[in-house]
Structure 1
Amino acid sequence: MDDDADPAWAVDPAPAVVARPREVLRQPAFALFWSASTVRALGSAISGVAFNVLIVSVLHASAAQISVLSALSVVPYLFLGLVVGALMDRRRRQRTLVLTSVGRALALAAIPVLILTGALTFWTVATVTLVLGVLVLFADSAAQPLLPRLVPRESLILANARLGQSDTVAGTAGPALGGALLTLLGTPLLFAFDAVLTAVSAVLQSRIRVDEPAPASRAPGRHIGHDIAEGMRYTYRHRTLRPLALSIHTWFLGNSIVTTVFAVFVLRQLRLQPWEYGLALAFGGVGGFLGALLAPRVGARLGAGRAIFVARALVVVPWLALAVAPVGAGGGTALVALVASAQFVYCLAMGVEDPNDTGYRQSVAPDAIQGRMNSTIRTVNRVVFFVGALVAGVLATCFGYRITIGIGAAIFAAAALIVVFSPLFAARHGDRL
């Protein structure tokens, strides 16, 4: 399918672009969407602590079992991502959000029941993990294409920035709050608390008022495979979405490599203490929040393409710095400051890039193919990340952690170069290509 083609779904009743987007939190539909997302993110961050305790201290899971549980959270994306994305272009997205939140609340509530009845085993936890992974996949696949229906297209970068800010706060404060609540309430009640928060998010989502036109029926002789192929052709033949997708995939490869070895490199080779490592991660949270605050201004001033390029290029710096960091007998103040600064810049770059990247995608693609476009990019990202994590282990074994992180930094640089040498570099928010 060519970019110049004009299929039926290309006629999109999106609002026209205006000069100054108004504050999105003043728009009732988005305020409810943001509130539900924030509550759910906080609950997930809190219960994440309980999950770790449950797996390690209650189930006494082996390393192999922990790997299985980690993989189960990714498996739904690998096998169902494209299918679910295609379904979201033919289903009511708001209704899907509500139903998945109800399902997640029930799945989370099942854990304290299993604990109290003595039925908690590795396989019951694995089943709950897999169910939650499938529900999260449906929720993510519905949320991204729904957002352009809740706010004008010129407000998408600001809307994504607001969501990024609350996610960063939840991800930073949630684990600490979860640790405190775990001590006060215990594991069963903490999971019950997360189930209640998820149910609250379902109520908030059910109150969203959004105009979702009835999806067009599939033409005779077509099936879901045709829809998936159409979404992939649209994404990878589009003048600016193609380089954007390729740059994202490349970035995910670099990110999978550096994040796989980061903790062990910092704790074993740089010899930072656990509290110093935690402090460095906290600086990352600050950087991510600041980046999300700056993202709308950077996008408005530079344009979507240049904002994405700047963020992609900036992320190279902290990983290069870590690759050449000196290895001492102990962490030391200077080394702790280096690791903390690296995390700050890394998360700052992501905070600037994510709203501009996602907002641009949502503003360019017609509503009827949003689900497939997003799921195509997201699914390939998960596959790349999965492969990159395996590659990181091989590289670290053969060449050591420094060279592995340096290779990751080089891959990040390649992701930035894809942007600068493509039509995406000159793209601006609100372009309709």
Structure 2
Amino acid sequence: MRDEAVQSDPTVAPPSREVLRLPAFAFFWSASTIRAFGGAIAGVAFQILIVRTLDATPVQISILSALGVVPYLFLGLIIGALMDRWRRQRALIITTVGRAVTLASVPVLLLTDTLNFWSLATVVLVLGVLTLFGDSAAQPFLPRIVPRNSLVMANARLGQSETVGSTVGPALGGALLNLVGAPILFAFESAINAIAAFLQSRIRVDEPGPEPRPHGRHLGHDIAEGMRYTYQHRTLRPLAISVHTWFLANSIVSTVFAVFVLRELNMPAWAYGVTLAAGGVGGFLGALTAPAVGARVGAGRAILLGRTLVIIPWLALAVAPLTASTGVGVALAVVSVAQFIYCLAMGIEDANDTGYRQAVAPDAIQGRMNSTIRTVNRVIYFFGALLAGLLMTFLGYHLTIGIGAIIFTLAALVVSVSPLRNARHEDDNASVSS
């Protein structure tokens, strides 16, 4: 009964800080967890298909990386505005079912020998559209089922489960790809999404129906209001600018990483999976400590810590004399440590970053605030991924990674010189209620 009371009023803190005691969040978390596990396995299969099976060029790799975010160029702000008027749970379920169907098409393409660059590009594009809808619904949906003063803990729990999947998934993915083949892996991921959709349908939450739009007001007014709120807010503005800069750097390093490891260092698929698993361990530890770090030093300084820490691994990879002749053992050790620190930094900052913006914004503008930041992030990622292909082609892998490290540094500087640096989570609820 006490959990039900909390669930019906998300402004009331639960008697225990363990958010998994809330039934609605438990279903939400379970769906996210199994999707993270399956997605990590399928992610390795996707990357190996692109680099090894299709033998894609650096430009093709960057195009496939960018296609996943193309929908944000055209639909991001629109979908975000609609999510402040639609039922978010229903959108979550529909898009998860859509992902299951789309992923089921990959085994068909493989078994009929029709998988090529263009068919895979179509799959990636469709998954990008579905991810846009799902993300646009999930972030503003979370404050409806979790008390605002537990949002950092909720995001940390989601981050922990995601990184457990990232730890186990890649190591299994690289091995299982050789053992059972890509068709079974993608069929498995399709089934996981179907189960996730069922779990999402079990969430009990009261969502108000769509409110009629005032006369003379159209969707463009809603979008503009969301952008004004985000970029005129004292602390959300520097947070948005910093994360935009971070995404530019991340688009470069994440695009170059797989081809750098598999082609430049000539590491086997199993070793690539191990490096991603090391990142999963780092991400889990980061998410595990994120609530404590945020409570101790404040949201702003926790975000700054993550933004600063992420510079180290990419700077190290840029200057380390790693080549195909280095040897698998040494290369594996260096790259695994780099991935560990990289994901540790993300684990610390992500729960504090997302929890802070979810708590500081009123529910009526959650969808638009989140979609504004997320859409600009993905637009930047799109052009950054294309830029990475050009940088790899003309400057080489090490220098491209070094450029990413420099841009990560700029993202940290934005936080360090802004009011966000001193923001604390205990200030957030006052901001919402005022």
After TM superposition, list the pairs within 5 Å mapping 1:58-97 onto structure 2: 60=54, 63=57, 69-97=64-92
> In 2, distance between residues paired with 1:49 and 1:334?
22
Alignment correspondent of 2:5: none
Contact 1:21 1:154 in 2 (8 A): no
Give the direction of change, closer, same or farther, for the CA distance of 1:300–1:99 in structure 2 (3 Å limit): same
- TM-score for the superposition, normalised by structure 1: 0.86
Contact 1:49 1:175 in 2 (8 A): yes
- The CA deviation at 1:28 is 0.5
Alignment correspondent of 1:297: 292
Contact 1:61 1:122 in 2 (8 A): no
Amino acid at match of 1:429: H
Residues 89-141 of structure 1: CA deviation (Å, up to 9, x unaligned): 11000111111122222333344456667876765554444332212211111
After TM superposition, list the pairs within 5 Å mapping 1:110-121 onto structure 2: 110-112=105-107
Contact 1:96 1:138 in 2 (8 A): yes
Judge which range, 271-280 or 210-219, deviates more.
271-280
Structure 1 alignment gaps of length 5 or more: 1-12
After TM superposition, list the pairs within 5 Å mapping 1:180-195 onto structure 2: 186-195=181-190
- The CA deviation at 1:319 is 2.3
Alignment correspondent of 1:4: none
- The CA deviation at 1:224 is 1.2
- The CA deviation at 1:389 is 2.8
> In 2, distance between residues paired with 1:409 and 1:306?
20
Amino acid at match of 2:352: N
Alignment correspondent of 2:251: 256
Give the direction of change, closer, same or farther, for the CA distance of 1:334–1:240 in structure 2 (3 Å limit): same
Alignment correspondent of 2:4: none
| Secondary structure of the structure 2 residue equivalent to 1:218 | coil
What root-mean-square deviation, in Å, do the aligned CA atoms of Structure 1 and Structure 2 show? 3.1
After TM superposition, list the pairs within 5 Å mapping 1:362-373 onto structure 2: 362-373=358-369
**Count of residue pairs brought into register by the alignment:** 419
Give the direction of change, closer, same or farther, for the CA distance of 1:151–1:55 in structure 2 (3 Å limit): same
Judge which range, 137-146 or 279-288, deviates more.
279-288
Give the direction of change, closer, same or farther, for the CA distance of 1:259–1:113 in structure 2 (3 Å limit): closer
- The CA deviation at 1:57 is 7.7
Alignment correspondent of 1:330: 326
Alignment correspondent of 2:31: 36
Contact 1:45 1:175 in 2 (8 A): yes
Task: Determine if the alignment matches structure 1 residue 46 to structure 2 residue 41.
Answer: yes
Amino acid at match of 1:379: T
Amino acid at match of 2:283: G
After TM superposition, list the pairs within 5 Å mapping 1:14-413 onto structure 2: 15-16=10-11, 22-51=17-46, 60=54, 63=57, 69-112=64-107, 125-179=120-174, 186-265=181-260, 271=265, 273-274=267-268, 277-327=272-322, 329-331=325-327, 336-396=332-392, 399-413=395-409
- The CA deviation at 1:408 is 2.3
Contact 2:67 2:382 in 1 (8 A): no
| Secondary structure of the structure 1 residue equivalent to 2:213 | coil
Contact 1:395 1:404 in 2 (8 A): yes
Amino acid at match of 2:337: S
Give the direction of change, closer, same or farther, for the CA distance of 1:199–1:396 in structure 2 (3 Å limit): closer
- The CA deviation at 1:323 is 2.9
Contact 2:302 2:348 in 1 (8 A): yes
Amino acid at match of 1:346: Y
| Secondary structure of the structure 2 residue equivalent to 1:45 | helix
> In 2, distance between residues paired with 1:237 and 1:175?
41
Judge which range, 235-244 or 203-212, deviates more.
203-212
Give the direction of change, closer, same or farther, for the CA distance of 1:230–1:173 in structure 2 (3 Å limit): same
| Secondary structure of the structure 2 residue equivalent to 1:351 | helix
> In 1, distance between residues paired with 2:395 and 2:173?
38
Give the direction of change, closer, same or farther, for the CA distance of 1:309–1:165 in structure 2 (3 Å limit): same
- The CA deviation at 1:415 is 1.1
- TM-score for the superposition, normalised by structure 2: 0.86
> In 1, distance between residues paired with 2:391 and 2:51?
28
Contact 2:313 2:341 in 1 (8 A): yes
Give the direction of change, closer, same or farther, for the CA distance of 1:382–1:199 in structure 2 (3 Å limit): same
Amino acid at match of 1:79: F
Give the direction of change, closer, same or farther, for the CA distance of 1:268–1:79 in structure 2 (3 Å limit): same
| Secondary structure of the structure 2 residue equivalent to 1:330 | coil
Give the direction of change, closer, same or farther, for the CA distance of 1:57–1:395 in structure 2 (3 Å limit): closer
> In 2, distance between residues paired with 1:305 and 1:21?
25
Give the direction of change, closer, same or farther, for the CA distance of 1:337–1:126 in structure 2 (3 Å limit): closer
Structure 2 alignment gaps of length 5 or more: 1-7
Give the direction of change, closer, same or farther, for the CA distance of 1:360–1:391 in structure 2 (3 Å limit): same
Give the direction of change, closer, same or farther, for the CA distance of 1:235–1:57 in structure 2 (3 Å limit): same
Contact 2:24 2:204 in 1 (8 A): yes
| Secondary structure of the structure 1 residue equivalent to 2:209 | coil
- The CA deviation at 1:284 is 1.6
| Secondary structure of the structure 2 residue equivalent to 1:377 | helix
